[in-house]
Structure 1
C-alpha cells in the first residue's frame, strides 16, 4: 500500500471543509415523543428514514477462486497491482478492473478514478478532508490499530459529499465495521483477501442488513375471537435498537400466519415508554428472524437477530440484547383473513401495554390496539406464510395445525 500523502485540492466531492480532529456536528437520534394515548399515528417519514444507499464493494485479490466467488455474488470491481493479471482475468470474466499505481487508482482507459491514503496517526487522518480530495473516490487504509473512531470522524466530515469513501479491510469481520460507523457508515469497503470464505461471509452480512430495505407483504385480518385464558410463560424481547410507533415483531402460534405485535414504545400514565422491548407472547410461539426463518420465542437469547417490521411492511434487522420469561395471565386472539379461509392465532399477555398493529387507516386511524381493548370485528395486520416448518425452515408437506 502506498504511503500517506496530502491529497491535492479539488472540488469533485462537492462538500465544504470539516476538520477530522475538531469536534464534529453530531446527528441527533430523537426517540418517539411521549404520548398519553394507547394508540398513536406513525410519523410519515419513519419508513423513509430506514432506507439507505447500497454500499460499494471492491475486491483486491490475487486468487481466481475469490474472484469467481465475488462475481457470483454481484461484485465485479477488482483492484490489481499488475496490469497483466487484470487483463488475464478480464478475458475470462466480465469484471471492471482497476489498477493501482502508487497512491492512485486508474481504470482501463488510464483515467484516475480514486486515490489511496494510508492513515496510521491523527496527523495523517487530518489530511483526509473533503477539500483536500483530488479524486471522486477515496480509498483509506487504516493502520496503527484504530479503525472505529477514525472511521466515524470521516463519516462526519464527508456527510453530504458526492464522492465515495471506502476503507480497506483484510477480512470479512473487519469489513463490517465500516458500513456501520456513525450509523450511516462509509460508502463501502475494499476487501483485500485471498480466502473465498471472506467473500461468502461479507455477502451474508449484507444480506442480513437487507440494504434494499425491502417490504414484507402484510395483509388485513379481522379479529374473530378474543378470550381470556389461564397463566402461561410469556417472553419479553429486549432489543439493542429503538423501535418507533408502528413497529414491532411478527409473532404467531402458527407459522402460516404471524401477527405484528407492537413494541412498548408508547408512554402511559402508569408506565414509562420502553421502545426497545416487545412483550411478544408465550414460549411456544414463532417469531420471524433473519434468513426467512422462524424461531421459537423460547429460543431467543442475547446476540440473536430478529427482524423489526413496521405498519407498511418495511423491515430491518435488530440484535436481541436479552429476553425475560415470566408467568403471566394470557389472552387468546384469533383472526381470519378477508377471504375467510384461514384462521390465525396468537396468545399474548393480558395487559394494557401489549398491542397489535392495525392497518394504516388514515390520519384518524389507530396504529395499535391494546389487547385489553381488542374486540371481534377489529382489523389487525398479519403476515401470511407457507404453513409447514421443519426445524424453523419452511417446507412443502401435508400438515394440520389447530
Structure 2
C-alpha cells in the first residue's frame, strides 16, 4: 500500500497550519518535522517523524551498559509518551548505518528511519544497504534519472523495510510510484500549501477498480456498410485475456480483445485493440467514458481482464480508417440492450466467458460474450442519475 509523508520543514510559515490540517484530514501516513512540540499535537493516527540533524552514533545496548538516558549513554528511542513515533537520522557512512540498525535492534523493534542523499556509486550502494537493514529508508536522488531508484528497488525486493523517495512535485510522485511497476513504497513531499496535500491524496487513491463483468447473449448481427473504425495502439503489452470495454451505448459494453493472439497473414500486435466504430464509448479510469473519436496519444484507458481485473494503459496512438462495419446486438439477463459496431473482419475479436476468444464474423445468435453494465447514464463522459434512452 503506497503512502506519503508530508515534510513540514520547507513549508512556508503562513501555510504551515493549513498544511498540517490537510494532512490530518486526508489521513496522510506521516508528518516529518524538526519541531517535536508540533508533532506532539498531531493525532496518533499519523506517524510522527522527528528529523534530527545529528547523524546516528548510538550502539546497541549490551549487558552491563547504562540504562538509556543515563550519563554516558545516548538515547536510542523516543521516550514513552513523547508523541514521537520515529526518529529520522541522516547516514553518510557504513558506520552510521550500522549504528541506526543497532538502535533499531536494541529498542525491540522501535522503527528507525535513515535518510541519505544519493549522488554517486558509493552513496547508491549505501542506500541499497540501508533499504535492506532499516524499517524506513528515505532517499533523495540528486539526478533526475530514475535508474538509481530502479537499482535500489531491485536490491531491496526481499526487504521488510519501506523505501521512501523524496520528490520535488506531484508529477515526480506519480512517476516514482510507477518505477519498475512496483514503485517506491512511499514518498516524502514538502507541499507549498494545503491544495497540494489534497492533490497528493487523490494521487494516492488513484487505483483502478475490480469490475463485475456480466454474460451477454447475442441476439442479432448485421452488416451495416462502410464507416470509420478506430484501432487503439497502447504503450502496454496486453495479456491474452485482456482488452478494453467498448459499446455503442453508455449503459453497456463488450470486452473487445487485444491482438495478442496469433492471426493468419499478419503478425500479432499485442499492444493493439481493434476497438470499434468512432462513435463508440470506451470505459476509462475514474468511471469516465470517452468516445473512441476522442482517444489519442497520451490518453489513458482501462485494460480489463476476463476476471474483471483492471489497470491503466496509456495510448500511444489511435488509428482511424474506413472499413466495412458489423453491428452486434446483445442483451443482458435483465433484458438490457448492449450494442457494438466493429470492423467487419474475421481478425476482429471479442472475449467470451472464461476469456474465450471469439471472431466477430463467426458470432451467431445465442453466443455468449463478456460485457459490463454501467449503473448510470452519462453526460460528457461523467456518470449522472438522469433519464436517458439510447437506441
Structure 1 position 392, deviation (Å): 1.1
Q: Give the aligned partner of residue 349 of structure 1.
A: 343
Among 248, 252, 263, the residue aligned to 2:247: 252
Q: Give the aligned partner of residue 23 of structure 2.
A: 70
In 2, distance between residues paired with 1:79 and 1:234? 53
Higher RCO (CA < 8 A, seq sep 6+): 1
Relative to structure 2, which stretch is displaced further, 110-119 or 264-273? 110-119
Q: Give the aligned partner of residue 118 of structure 1.
A: 117
Contact 2:220 2:329 in 1 (8 A): yes
Structure 1 position 121, deviation (Å): 2.0
Q: Give the aligned partner of residue 154 of structure 1.
A: 152
- Secondary structure of 2:270's aligned partner: coil
Q: Give the aligned partner of residue 51 of structure 2.
A: 100
Among 329, 341, 363, the residue aligned to 1:374: 363
Matched, 1:298 2:249: no
How high is the TM-score relative to the length of structure 2?
0.81
In 2, distance between residues paired with 1:117 and 1:69? 27
Among 159, 169, 178, the residue aligned to 2:167: 169
- Note the 1:87-236 alignment, pairs <5 A: 87-90=40-43, 94-102=45-53, 103=55, 108=84, 111-130=110-129, 134-143=133-142, 145-208=143-206, 210=207, 214-236=209-231
Among 232, 257, 280, the residue aligned to 1:237: 232
Matched, 1:401 2:390: yes
Structure 1, unmatched stretches of 5+, are 1-53, 361-365
Contact 1:171 1:198 in 2 (8 A): no
- Note the 1:318-329 alignment, pairs <5 A: 318-329=313-324
Structure with the higher helix share, 1 or 2: 2
Contact 1:301 1:320 in 2 (8 A): yes
Structure ID, larger Rg: 2
Structure 1 position 147, deviation (Å): 4.1
In 1, distance between residues paired with 2:119 and 2:272? 41
Structure 1 position 287, deviation (Å): 0.5
- Secondary structure of 1:182's aligned partner: helix
Relative to structure 2, which stretch is displaced further, 351-360 or 329-338? 351-360
In 2, distance between residues paired with 1:233 and 1:207? 37
In 2, distance between residues paired with 1:206 and 1:231? 45
Structure 2, unmatched stretches of 5+, are 57-75, 79-83, 88-109
Contact 1:356 1:370 in 2 (8 A): yes
Q: Which string of whole-angstrom CA distances, capped at 9 and with x for unpartnered residues, describes residues 131-173 of structure 1?
A: 7855221111122x33411111111111121111111113211
In 2, distance between residues paired with 1:175 and 1:106? 30
Matched, 1:391 2:380: yes
In 2, distance between residues paired with 1:199 and 1:235? 39
In 1, distance between residues paired with 2:357 and 2:177? 33
Q: Give the aligned partner of residue 3 of structure 1.
A: none
Structure 1 position 389, deviation (Å): 1.4
How high is the TM-score relative to the length of structure 1?
0.79
Relative to structure 2, which stretch is displaced further, 223-232 or 54-63? 54-63
Structure 1 position 70, deviation (Å): 3.0
Q: Which string of whole-angstrom CA distances, capped at 9 and with x for unpartnered residues, describes residues 187-215 of structure 1?
A: 2211122323332333333333x1xx531
Q: Which string of whole-angstrom CA distances, capped at 9 and with x for unpartnered residues, describes residues 238-262 of structure 1?
A: 1011101110111100011111111
Relative to structure 2, which stretch is displaced further, 63-72 or 120-129? 63-72
Q: Aligned pairs, how many?
A: 337
Contact 1:106 1:114 in 2 (8 A): no
